[in-house]
Amino acid sequence: MVSEESERLQALRQEVRTWLRENLPEGWGTPAYVPPPRGTAEGQAAGKEWSKKLYDAGYTGFTVPKEYGGIERPREEQAVIREEMARTGTPPGAATLGYLAVAALMRYGTEEQKKRWIPKIMTNEECWCECFSEPNAGSDLANIQKTGVRDGDEWVVNGQSVWTSSSKFADWGIVPVRTDVNAPRHRNLSFFVFDCTTPGFSVKPLRQMTGDAEFSETFFDDVRIPHGNMIGAEGQGWYVAMTVLEAERGGGMRIGEAAAGITVTTLGGVDNFVELAKNTKRRDMVAWDDPLFRQRIAQFAIENEAIRASTQRMRVKAMKGQLTGHEQSITSTYRREKNQRQANMVAEMIGASIQYMRGDPRALDDGSWTYTFLRSRGNTIETGTTEINRGIIAERLLGLPRTRM
């Protein structure tokens, strides 16, 4: 039985490798490959096309039941597919947060809601945004000020969100709204799905220091949302939102979407750093010849393997229904802080070249390292600050007392 299973998985591994060779973009993994520009319609279309290819091949959508458009595979097959995707790296999918909507729908949605929205999330046919943070309610979700007033079979929503991800190309969005101004905290919110083409909803991009505009300010001016788009019961929005945040911290169901360029890795997740060190001179010395850089790179490889093993363990526990929902804060915090430490190491290694942005002829690797360094600054803020995540670990996993300095 063991040998038969091994042969089956080996055959799947070869199948996935063959599929990747035939379907990855021409020149992938070489300097000849030029990815579509970030945040453009061209890039979004390419991401949607790639995601659809993965879905049609049966290589994604594993966390969702078949009746809602998911792909059902044994855990060991999922692991093989993920390993092969990570081995070569793959293009990014479309800019969408649909997996967060799936988390809410699977736990609180009606059958009609699940069958309407989840299948098109699986294929990336419809893309989603998340309107949570507000100018005066970032990490304090319970303090949001967006209001919803019922008018017949609709809710009229007013307010503003900020740092809204994936809003530029979103077809649908998810939003918690204060629907009872007199109810106590955590009982005064309701959770909605809304059509981004609804009159009154508008998007204003926020430009980052990377040059990108990943995030936006989003405005609700008398936006009418059908009552049938409420996920969960009225007043249950806080609990629906907590389900979404658990999925966000854990990375949800996204697999096989390693970004192009410098993030494609195979050797303990650090072959890009090894290559950079071997081709970079620092103070008249090849960086790879410096034992301190080699030691730091080796440490990142060890940490990457530890995170991989921890993620696999949590995935198995999740399938058995043994997670509390707070464990994702461990890997989320560790990954994000590690990203910053890696970016800092690269900045030390390449020295003054870190100041050259994309498009500058002096930029190393077309400014990809600089982009990663700048982008990593936000890693410990987005999807819940590391302080919030550490509080979750301390109080909800370790059972430590709730204390505030």
The domain ranges of the chain are 127-250, 266-397
For 266-397, CATH gives: 1.20.140.10
Q: Scan for tokens 């294929």, then name that residue.
A: 123
Cα–Cα distance, 339 to 319 (Å, whole number): 28
Interval 232-246 mean pLDDT = 93
Identify the CATH class of 127-250.
mainly beta
The pLDDT > 70 percentage for the chain reads 92
Contact 282, 349 (CB under 8 A): yes
Active site residue 248: yes
Question: Longest C-alpha distance within the chain, in Å?
Answer: 74
pLDDT confidence tier of residue 48, bands split at 50, 70 and 90: very high
pLDDT tens column, 185-222:
889 999 999 999 999 999 999 988 988 888 899 999 99
Chain length of the chain = 405
Fold match between 127-250 and 266-397?
no
**Tens digit of each residue's pLDDT (9 = 90 or more) over 288-339:** 999 999 999 999 999 988 888 887 788 777 767 777 777 878 888 888 999 9
Q: Could you tell me the two tokens for 125? A: 């046919």
Residue tagged active-site, from 248, 303, 305, 327: 248
Percent of residues, the chain, with pLDDT higher than 90: 58
> 185 burial class (0-12, 13-18, 19+ CB within 10 angstroms)?
exposed
